[in-house]
Structure 1
Amino acid sequence: MTNTGEGGARARGTWWREGAIAATAFAFCLLGGALQVDDKAISAPPAAAYLIAVVSCAVLPVRHRAPLAAMAATTAAGMLVPPLDLLLSPPIVAPAVIVAYTLAVRTERRAASAVLLASAVLLVVSNLVFSFGSLSWQDASRIAAVAAFPLVAGILGHSTQNRRAYLAAVEERALRAEKSRDSEARRRVAEERLRIARELHDLVAHQITLANAQATVAAHLFDTRPEQTRKSLRELVETTGDALDELRATVGLLRHTGDAAAPAEPAPGLSRLPTLLESFRRAGLEVSVHQEGTARPLPPGVDLTAYRIVQEALTNVTKHAGTNSARVRLDWSRDRVTITVADDGGDAHTASAATLPDRPPGYGLIGMRERATAVGGRLSAGRRPEGGFLVSTELPLPPAKDRTHANEGPLTGGEAL
């Protein structure tokens, strides 16, 4: 809804300002009409001076809407000054000066310059025609001042126009920068949410899967092998404790409002692969590892990605494959490392959705692909022709000369566990 009170106050302010400008220009015109040559005293303005003042000032209110027409009218009024036996002086062309400033502000530079120059020439020529033969140095200086005043007003108008254009450009750039910052902030928030979702998925899926496997073993052996049941329960306690610790650390980072000085412990990487495999072995999954080539240190992001992909792939084997064995292979080449996780569990990876129709689709494979793509790698997953499931990913390696920059590397090449 339009605020009529504010609009009315603005309109009244505009009318007061325009009225003050017109009254000032009218007073200057009458003062110029009262001026005579130097050897005569100032007398009351003649009727011709009032005529020039009224005609010149009457067009001032329309100078904003029609600056060219207003400039033509004030110039014509100035050209009538010598024929009416008045002295052409700077005060009497005050309306033309005001219109010249408005014209320069509101019109393109070249057009405004041409109009103002033509106006100055016409004022000078009209005065020279009627004072030809009796022109003194004082008259020449007065005529030069009359011609210069509109030109100076035009220069000031051009300066104002440039300043307004500069301020508008600055404001536009500020608005674009603000929109860009907002878009960048939204993009960063979306990326951070996706990263946190992947971390929480990998953490919860891995630990809960192990806990479920250990609880299943304990329930199955509860009556027949109580010692093995107690061992499985102890491992279950350790697994759930580790899950709570990692979950608490992750949530603590999310709740932290300041800048963290340093993480409590380094992000997991391939150097922690033996510990990861041992947790799966405690859950009943036998995992063998084989490496080819010379192992090299990985950048932190690639190292974490490699660890999480192995963790998620083995978690899927534990949940879906229906087998108690899996194989992990790392092939190191000059510019990349290829990691494969395979099992012989048939098609349970894809059949699990059919056997459990109420379970929503998981995000394990999606998360692994996103992780690989984020560090410049690629991942493929699918059933093996000979049976089972295979996850394979290729991750880029830094140049060999950068290997001294890493503090801790993965397992040594050729090692089999």
Structure 2
Amino acid sequence: MIAEIRSWARCHPRAFDMAVAAALCVLAVLTTTMAQPPRIVRWPPPAPAAVAVLACTALLLGRTHPRLTVIITTGCTAVLGVLGPSHGYEFGSTLTGPVMAALASLAWRTDGRTAARGTAAAVAVLLAASVLWPPGQAQLRPEQVGLAAFTLLPAAVADALRSRRDYVTAVEARAEMAEHTREEEARRRVGAERMRIARELHDVVAHHITLAHAQAATADYLLATRPDAAAEVTGNLTATLTAALGELKATVGLLREHDDPTGSTDPAPGLAQLPDLLASFESVGLAVTLTREGAARPLSPGVGLTAYRITQEALTNVSKHALTTAAAVHLHYTADRLTLTVTDDGPAPTSPRSRGVSGYGLIGMRERAHAVGGHLHAHPRGGAGFEVRADLPTLTAHGPPPTTPRDAP
């Protein structure tokens, strides 16, 4: 039944307020008709009855003006307490019903501090009205203390309910925020994975298509005058396209690795495959010199793949834009870093775009370097040529350096 009343009150708030005000008004007016011993029922005194009606009518303002409602009901209830001795009725809990309802509304609709202050002030006023009146007969009786304590009860209950409501609201808000955060993190991870696959596809396609284009153009040029050389170039073209298809299949297989258990399990390319990469460029007329400095350090698969792809993209840009037949790759190992440098001696670029500086290739190289904790710099070299330098961490960046034969006992 209580649940039904609560549901009806939520659906009809105005009617509920009027019903509560009417019930409390009837109770207060009826109290003024009961004279002190001998107890008899009489007509309600006009003044106390009018004050009781005013106090109960003020309850209709409780939803929009809870503070004003407490002030009006407290003042009216105090007046009822002052008029009690002269009109022959007792100042009891039945007359404090309006102020109790107003305090409960204040505690439900405001914060705890405001409710505490309003309740303390109202109880103090009612206690003073019952103790200090009539003049010359001021005394504190036990029933007056009990009346003050009874007046505090509805406000305490309403404050507890409000605290529980705020707690539930906060828990729901935290749960919603956590769900939103999980969705944002999922979207961020999906975006990062898409960018990674896009970089792989760009590097594979740009490298192999550039080589295939150069080989096809060379074969077409030699076909009429040197058929044997053209056949050799065509064979290299077939190998290039086969390698391109293999790498594209492995890269696209990343998208279905959870659904295709028979997918390729070949390791990702790294510096171990660097000689094959340089040989593929030599087949199209770009001679690449590889030099190393310092003791080779172990690289994580991610750093190895990053170094391989940066070298591949940088040499592809040289082949497409540099107008030169020579390039150099230099690997410099230190205790915890690998510095990869790709240079060429081609003509100075007339604009950044002419050497691929502002395209997706350089953006992808920088993103790859940053993803593994490194840095990348690309700039013209003085009067001629271009340089791409990547500074990448090795496995020893977070651990002790590897043992060399000289360090062994």
Tell me which moved more, 251-260 or 159-168.
Answer: 251-260
1:397 paired with 2:394, answer yes
Percent identity reads: 41
Is the 8 Å Cα contact of residues 35 and 88 (structure 2) preserved in structure 1?
A: no
Tell me which moved more, 73-82 or 197-206.
Answer: 73-82
- Tell me the equivalent position of 1:89: 92
- Aligned-pair CA distance for 1:312: 1.0
- Aligned-pair CA distance for 1:50: 4.0
Aligned residues: 389
- Tell me the equivalent position of 1:305: 306
Q: Could you tell me how far apart the structure 1 residues matched to 2:236 and 2:304 are?
A: 27
Compared with structure 1, are the counterparts of its residues 385 and 119 closer, same or farther at alpha carbon in structure 2 (3 Å cutoff)? closer
The within-5 A match list for 1:164-313 is 164-174=165-175, 176-177=177-178, 180-181=181-182, 183-185=184-186, 187-254=188-255, 264-313=265-314
Q: Could you tell me how far apart the structure 2 residues matched to 1:386 and 1:126 are?
A: 99
- Aligned-pair CA distance for 1:301: 2.2
- Stretches of structure 1 lacking an aligned partner (at least 5 in a row): 1-8, 406-417
- Aligned-pair CA distance for 1:46: 3.0
Compared with structure 1, are the counterparts of its residues 194 and 260 closer, same or farther at alpha carbon in structure 2 (3 Å cutoff)? farther
2:44 maps to amino acid: P
The within-5 A match list for 1:8-407 is 13-33=12-32, 43=41, 46-47=44-45, 50-79=49-78, 80-81=80-81, 82=84, 83-128=86-131, 129-130=133-134, 140-174=141-175, 176-177=177-178, 180-181=181-182, 183-185=184-186, 187-254=188-255, 264-347=265-348, 350=350, 362-385=359-382, 387-399=384-396, 402=399
1:20 maps to amino acid: A
Compared with structure 1, are the counterparts of its residues 112 and 259 closer, same or farther at alpha carbon in structure 2 (3 Å cutoff)? farther
Q: Could you tell me how far apart the structure 1 residues matched to 2:44 and 2:388 are?
A: 104
- Aligned-pair CA distance for 1:261: 11
- Tell me the equivalent position of 2:4: none
Quick one: higher RCO (CA 8 Å, sep 6+), 1 or 2? 1
- Tell me the equivalent position of 1:6: none
Is the 8 Å Cα contact of residues 205 and 244 (structure 2) preserved in structure 1?
A: yes
Q: Could you tell me how far apart the structure 2 residues matched to 1:116 and 1:259 are?
A: 70
2:28 maps to amino acid: C
SS at match of 1:265: coil
- Aligned-pair CA distance for 1:333: 1.1
- Aligned-pair CA distance for 1:274: 2.2
- Aligned-pair CA distance for 1:243: 1.5
Is the 8 Å Cα contact of residues 253 and 264 (structure 2) preserved in structure 1?
A: no
- Aligned-pair CA distance for 1:27: 3.5
Q: Could you tell me how far apart the structure 2 residues matched to 1:152 and 1:55 are?
A: 23
Deviations 1:109-134 (A, max 9, x none): 44443432333233333334349879
SS at match of 1:266: coil
- Tell me the equivalent position of 1:5: none
Q: Could you tell me how far apart the structure 1 residues matched to 2:302 and 2:125 are?
A: 77
Q: Could you tell me how far apart the structure 2 residues matched to 1:185 and 1:33 are?
A: 69
Deviations 1:308-357 (A, max 9, x none): 1111112122222333332221111112111122233334x6579679xx
Q: Could you tell me how far apart the structure 1 residues matched to 2:212 and 2:354 are?
A: 24
1:333 maps to amino acid: T
TM-score normalized with structure 2 length: 0.80
- Aligned-pair CA distance for 1:91: 2.0
1:63 maps to amino acid: G
2:22 maps to amino acid: A
Is the 8 Å Cα contact of residues 287 and 325 (structure 2) preserved in structure 1?
A: yes
- Stretches of structure 2 lacking an aligned partner (at least 5 in a row): 1-7, 403-409
Compared with structure 1, are the counterparts of its residues 390 and 30 closer, same or farther at alpha carbon in structure 2 (3 Å cutoff)? same
1:273 maps to amino acid: L
Deviations 1:134-181 (A, max 9, x none): 98xxx9453233212221222223323433443454455456555555
- Aligned-pair CA distance for 1:383: 3.6
- Aligned-pair CA distance for 1:182: 5.5
Q: Could you tell me how far apart the structure 2 residues matched to 1:351 and 1:93 are?
A: 88
